[in-house]
């Protein structure tokens, strides 16, 4: 039986990933500050460990052995906390400790969940043509963490991969990210404020996200950073228009009512590399993914997706 450690176990992606691994007959250690939300997933293959960042240094005392360590835990992925350097630096410190614990536990690989927003930092460093926004503190922390962990992984002889997650949608996401905000407005018959939408973007369904994450863990080549999203990208305008046609076809959208602060430059990565290395790619039907996400949002309390959206570049 393959054994995996998953931090951020009660978050949107972490919880869905644990559920997927259990279906694949993994032994899973789910780590979270509060494991109450994992009770519905309980089975003999799942061991829940309550631990905040300060307790990470004792994980090796609670886990005898695991094959792979997936790290999703991260405080402040949107909103004011994403702009707070103190919070973001604590995330970096905790991630480095998680990697050191993976070494002590005897894991073969460490998989770090990055973000597509890191590309903005790369473009700034490369071309100096963009000025990083305050929201980029989160993205800079993710990129810095990835680099530091790669250095540690090489030093300690553990395989390492990063997955840059696209905008991930699906049942279970209670965040106020722009994907939820836009779909929630459609459900209420409201027209959201929108950028021109000429740049490329990606909405990835959670069922594809967890498959791609496992593929990285099993088949990803050491030290590579992979894009977790579709191999073919669409202009944001096409994505939003298609989503509107599925959820609220009667609405008349107006693009360009908000300024584009930044357009993601996907030339810094390969959308095909994960498929080339692992044979796995996103294939869930887009229309079905939007419909299932919208149906779930409609069943939730009004606060889900009701706050103002993040900046219009639709940061992951």
| Residue at 297 is within a domain | no
* Domain-embedded: residue 307: no
Supply φ then ψ for residue 163, to 5 degrees.
-115, 120
Q: What percent of the chain has pLDDT over 70?
A: 94
Gyration radius from the chain CA atoms: 19
Residue 311 confidence (pLDDT): 40
Instruction: Compute the average pLDDT of residues 163-178.
Output: 95
Tens digit of pLDDT for each residue in 106-163?
999 999 999 999 998 998 888 766 677 777 899 999 999 999 999 999 999 999 999 9
Q: What is the per-residue burial (b if ≥16 Cβ within 10 Å, else e) of 190-214?
A: eebebbbbebbbbbbbbbbbbbbbb
Q: What is the pLDDT of residues 32-78, one digit of tens each?
A: 999 888 888 878 999 999 999 999 999 999 999 999 999 999 999 98
Q: How far apart are CA 116 and CA 71, in angstroms?
A: 16
Tell me, yes or no, whether 160 lies in a domain. yes
Residue 35 lies inside a defined structural domain of this protein = yes
Of 159-173, 202-216, 273-287, 300-314, the range with the lowest mean pLDDT is 300-314
CB neighbourhood size of 116 (10 A): 26
Q: Is residue 131 part of a domain?
A: yes
Residue 215 lies in a domain: yes
Give this prediction's pTM: 0.94
Domain range holding 26? 3-173+202-232+267-283
Q: Residue 58 domain-assigned?
A: yes
Can you give the three-state secondary structure of the chain, one letter per residue? CCEEEEECCCCHHHHHHHHHHHHCCCEEEEEECCHHHHHHHCCCCEEEEECCHHHHHHHHHHCCCCCEEEECCCCCCCCHHHHCHHHHHHHHHHHHHHHHHHHHHCCCEEEEEEECCHHHHHHHHHHCCCCCCCCHHHHHHHHHHHHHHHHHHHHHCCEEEEEEECEEECCCCCCCCHHHHHHHHHHCCCCCCECCCCCEECEEEHHHHHHHHHHHHHHCCCCCEEEECCCCCEEHHHHHHHHHHHHCCCCCCCECCCCCCCCCCHHHCCCCHHHHHHCCCCCCCHHHHHHHHHHHHHCCCCCCCCCCCCCCCCCC
Structure tokens at 216: 């990285």
Model confidence band, residue 302 (pLDDT cutoffs 50, 70, 90): confident
Please count the structural domains in the chain. 1
What's the mean pLDDT when you consider all of the chain?
Answer: 93
Give the CATH number, domain containing residue 84. Answer: 3.40.50.720
**pLDDT, position 241:** 98
Mean pLDDT of 241-267: 95
Structural domain contains residue 164: yes
């Amino acid at each position: 039986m393959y054994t995996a450690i998953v931090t951020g176990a009660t978050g949107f992606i972490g919880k869905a990933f644990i559920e997927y691994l259990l279906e694949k007959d993994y032994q899973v250690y789910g780590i979270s500050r509060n494991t109450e939300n994992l009770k519905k997933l309980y089975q003999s293959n799942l061991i829940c460990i309550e631990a905040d960042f300060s307790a990470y240094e004792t994980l090796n005392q609670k886990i005898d052995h695991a094959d792979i360590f997936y790290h999703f835990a991260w405080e402040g992925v949107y909103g004011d906390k994403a702009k707070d350097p103190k919070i973001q630096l604590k995330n970096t410190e905790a991630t480095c400790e998680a990697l050191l614990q993976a070494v002590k536990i005897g894991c073969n690989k460490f998989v770090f969940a990055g973000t597509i927003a890191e590309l903005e930092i790369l473009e700034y460093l490369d071309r100096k043509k963009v000025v990083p926004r305050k929201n980029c503190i989160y993205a800079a922390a993710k990129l810095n963490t990835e680099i530091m962990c790669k250095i540690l992984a090489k030093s300690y002889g553990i395989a390492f991969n990063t997955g840059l997650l696209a905008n991930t949608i699906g049942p279970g996401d209670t965040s106020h990210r722009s994907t939820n905000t836009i779909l929630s407005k459609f459900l209420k018959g409201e027209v959201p404020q929108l950028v021109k939408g000429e740049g490329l973007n990606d909405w990835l369904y959670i069922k594809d996200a967890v498959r791609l994450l496992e593929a990285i863990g099993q088949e990803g080549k050491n030290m590579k950073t992979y894009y977790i999203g579709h191999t073919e990208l669409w202009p944001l305008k096409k994505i939003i228009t298609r989503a509107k046609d599925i959820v609220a076809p009667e609405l008349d959208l107006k693009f360009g009512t908000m300024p584009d602060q930044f357009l993601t430059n996907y030339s810094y990565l390969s959308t095909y590399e994960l498929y080339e290395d692992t044979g796995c790619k996103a294939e869930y039907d887009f229309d079905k993914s939007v419909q299932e996400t919208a149906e779930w949002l409609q069943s939730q309390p009004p606060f889900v997706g009701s706050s103002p959206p993040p900046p219009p570049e639709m940061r992951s």
